[in-house]
Structure 1
Amino acid sequence: MARTSRSSWRLGVPIVCLCAGLLLATTHTVSGGSEIRRSDAPRLVNLVREAQAAVDRLSTQREMLVDQVDNHHGGTPSAAAALTAITNRADALAVAAGLEAMHGPGLVVTLDDAQRDAAGRFPGDASADDLVVHQQDIQAVLNAMWSAGAEAVQMQDQRIIATSAPRCVGNTLLLNGRTYSPPYVITAIGDVPAMQAALAAAPMVELYKRYVLRFGLRYTEQGKDEVDVVAHPPAVRMRYAKPAGPLGY
């Protein structure tokens, strides 16, 4: 009985060792020499924590951006007060900028091309340029009015502001993208005697009046107790020069 038991152990121990060796060899082959279950492998709980941290970080960033937008658009008392001050300042400057219609005493000046005489003829020694109103003639009248302290000026049906530039195109006038034919009517609100004195003293206006006498151009001044000057359309756009070239250099 004892021999049989010892014989079983002698056979069983090598078999167990062989199986253990085969198991170790198989594990090594499958793992490729590395650990099958590494200690730093991501776990579900870690993934959830990282996702929550990302959500918290993005939520904080969102709140900061919302505060910035609110501050720019009057979302806080201080921003609202600043916006109100800017709006009031803009309203105060609207009149000076020509964005408000005006009414008051003023002067109306009319310039027109030369007209034919009773026989249907122009002066024999006149050239074509002598018989029409030019850009410099209109500009001379405008400059004289401004120098006399005109509060508002209108030409034809448009308000004249700092960016307005009347341009001659043949025998017509281009103003803010619109074309006009003579007669050209300029209306200004202000001190009428002062504007008349400035027009009388302006060299270019005096030269135009000589052409009126010599070649039949037309020029009239009419002071009025009440005149209306329209407002310039809103959204005044400023333009500036840009470098030429494909790359802007």
Structure 2
Amino acid sequence: MVFSTGGGSDDRAVGPSWRLVLRRAARGLRPRRGAKKSIWSAGVPLIALAAGLLFTTSATTADGTALRDDRRPQLTQLIAEKRDRLAVSEKRAAALLAEVDEETARLAEVDQPVKIASENADAIRQPAGFTALRGPGITVTLDDSPRRGSDFAENAPDNDDLVVHQGDVQAVVNALWAGGAEAMTIMDVRVISTSAVRCVGNTLLLHGQVFSPPFKITAIGEPTAMDRALDSAEGVRQFREAVADFGLGYTEKVEKNVTVRAYDGSTDLRSAQAAR
């Protein structure tokens, strides 16, 4: 420890300089008179020198801050700001769409071609998924297993065995359509003809939105017919077997009166080809 004397300041009291560190290390490497030479006599000072250089370099690099600063608060704030901005944009888009519909209805009263086009659009609005529907149906929920893949026991499952995959969600969706579903939502997002279900890790990506399990799929239709379609679907049967083997979650709930919201996302198509 270095002390300063008197009322003035002493620059040497701030801390040992590199020159002082090297001088002390060299002094430690110098053999003492009458002492037997050994590997430890030279190795210990070198190790101490390396440790001192490492500590000094870390302190200089840090410059009074943490080298591994936790950036989670900043990321959380950034995500919240992006969500707020998205909510504002969606609200403005809904207002503009309402103005377009109002203006279209006004023009349809005085313009015959606009009236015909508007009536044709209204006729296909419901089949296309742009109107909300209400009626009986069924809700299927898929969930990851609470087990962990770190189990090294014999016949232990892999991480892929313990999560819901894209094919599992798609198997349920296809089975419900085959069972006569009239309308469907995944995580309360309306599914239309251009919807694509994708999984990124153990999250679900649908219409630009990311969802975490459990994944809820709701369909309006005749519950008994859709239940039979689920029983006969090969992909659904395989997932049910995984439920028993790995503890995955699978539930079916009959809905007496459920609402399926209208699709309110983008309808732009990048490419399309007429069916033959």
TM-score under structure 2 normalisation?
0.56
User: What is residue 125 of structure 1 aligned with on the other side?
Assistant: 156
User: What is residue 213 of structure 2 aligned with on the other side?
Assistant: 182
Stretches of structure 1 that go unaligned for 5 or more consecutive residues are 1-73, 242-249
Q: Is this contact kept in 1: 2:135–2:259, CA < 8 A?
A: yes
Deviation for aligned residue 1:76: 11
Deviation for aligned residue 1:82: 2.8
SS at match of 2:190: strand
User: What is residue 236 of structure 2 aligned with on the other side?
Assistant: 205
User: What is residue 7 of structure 1 aligned with on the other side?
Assistant: none
- Give the distance between the partners of 1:199 and 1:139, measured in 2 at CA: 12
Aligned residue type for 1:231: A
Aligned residue type for 1:216: G
* 1:46-105: CA deviation from partner (whole Å, max 9, x where unpaired): xxxxxxxxxxxxxxxxxxxxxxxxxxxx7997xx32321221111111111111111110
User: What is residue 113 of structure 1 aligned with on the other side?
Assistant: 144
Q: Is this contact kept in 2: 1:115–1:122, CA < 8 A?
A: no
Cα gap change, 1:98 to 1:157, in 2 (>3 Å): same
Q: Is this contact kept in 1: 2:109–2:115, CA < 8 A?
A: no
User: What is residue 222 of structure 1 aligned with on the other side?
Assistant: 253
* 1:189-246: CA deviation from partner (whole Å, max 9, x where unpaired): 01110100001000011011110111111101111110111111165111218xxxxx
Cα gap change, 1:206 to 1:82, in 2 (>3 Å): same
Deviation for aligned residue 1:157: 2.2
Stretches of structure 2 that go unaligned for 5 or more consecutive residues are 1-106
| 1:101 matches 2:132 | yes
Q: Is this contact kept in 1: 2:136–2:256, CA < 8 A?
A: yes
- Give the distance between the partners of 1:145 and 1:75, measured in 2 at CA: 38
Aligned length: 165
- Give the distance between the partners of 1:179 and 1:234, measured in 2 at CA: 14
Q: Is this contact kept in 1: 2:108–2:118, CA < 8 A?
A: no
* 1:24-45: CA deviation from partner (whole Å, max 9, x where unpaired): xxxxxxxxxxxxxxxxxxxxxx
Aligned ranges for residues 133-144 of structure 1 at < 5 Å?
Answer: 133-144=164-175
User: What is residue 201 of structure 2 aligned with on the other side?
Assistant: 170
Aligned residue type for 1:183: P
Bigger radius of gyration: 1
Cα gap change, 1:213 to 1:92, in 2 (>3 Å): same
Aligned residue type for 2:255: K
Deviation for aligned residue 1:137: 0.4
TM-score under structure 1 normalisation?
0.61
- Give the distance between the partners of 2:219 and 2:237, measured in 1 at CA: 19
Aligned residue type for 2:191: I
Q: Is this contact kept in 1: 2:108–2:114, CA < 8 A?
A: no
User: What is residue 269 of structure 2 aligned with on the other side?
Assistant: 238
* 1:167-197: CA deviation from partner (whole Å, max 9, x where unpaired): 1101111111111000000000011101000
Aligned residue type for 1:210: E
Superposition RMSD in Å: 2.5
SS at match of 2:131: coil
Deviation for aligned residue 1:132: 0.3
Q: Is this contact kept in 2: 1:99–1:234, CA < 8 A?
A: no
Residue identity over aligned pairs, in percent, reads 46
Cα gap change, 1:167 to 1:101, in 2 (>3 Å): same
Higher relative contact order (CA 8 A, sep 6+): 1
